[in-house]
Amino acid sequence: MNRTEIDLNEWERKEHYSFFSTFTEPFFGITIQIDCTSALVKTKEKGASFFLYYLYRAIKAANQVKNFRYRIINNKVYLYDVINASPTIGRANNTFGFSSMPFNEDESIFIKNAKEEIERVQNGTTLFPAPKDNDDFDAVIHCSALPWLNFTSMSHARNYNLPDSCPKISFGKVVTIDNKKQMSVSIHLHHGLADGYHVSIFADKFQEFMNS
């Protein structure tokens, strides 16, 4: 993965990074509502996977927000050229495995590769199925889908002894509100790398892509 080290002395977020990086819990979370009315119609007409439809658009939106591509590695900040998806994949026995889905601007290629990865993980039995290649696992967004729950907030299990700066995006149940199909989306980001403003940019882009 191509990445560029940030010169912290010249970085506009130098103080923010220094301040929030000392926190035991440096992540903040926001839950937004995304209108899925148009997206559901399109996926139904195409017989396509709604999960992969919104996952592609969420990762595409995240890639267009620079702050979603910052990562902290060995106390250094890097900006990745591209970040990928790492969603949890459910299995028939109601367990799940973690996956790795490289982002591709070509939606058809992304979905083809994602379907292969879903099959690979579903046919496995471990939490961490062996990766297909040596992907840089820092350059991911941790994703999860909870299609059974219409949540209004969320927290994540964390090991505070392990450094982590990867964003986490969770997608909820689609519900009908005022004759529109809506889905809760939870976004957690390291506050040293991003603020609520950057979540708003992501939300606007994600909604735009869901409508297109």
**Where in the sequence numbering do the catalytic residues fall?**
191
Q: Is residue 203 within 8 Å of 37, Cβ to Cβ?
A: no
- Given the structure tokens 């559901």, which residue do they identify? 40
Backbone angles phi, psi at 51, to 5 degrees: -60, -50
CA 196 from chain centre, in angstroms, equals 16
Separation of alpha carbons 57 and 62, rounded Å: 8
Determine the residue type at 11: W
Q: Residue 141 and residue 5: Cα distance in Å, rounded?
A: 19
Instruction: Please report how many Cα atoms fall inside a 13 Å half-sphere around the Cα of residue 61, on the Cβ side.
Output: 24
Bridge partner residues of 34 (DSSP): 183
Q: What is the CA radius of gyration of the chain?
A: 17
| Total count of residues recorded for the chain | 212
Residues 99, 121: contact at Cβ < 8 Å? yes
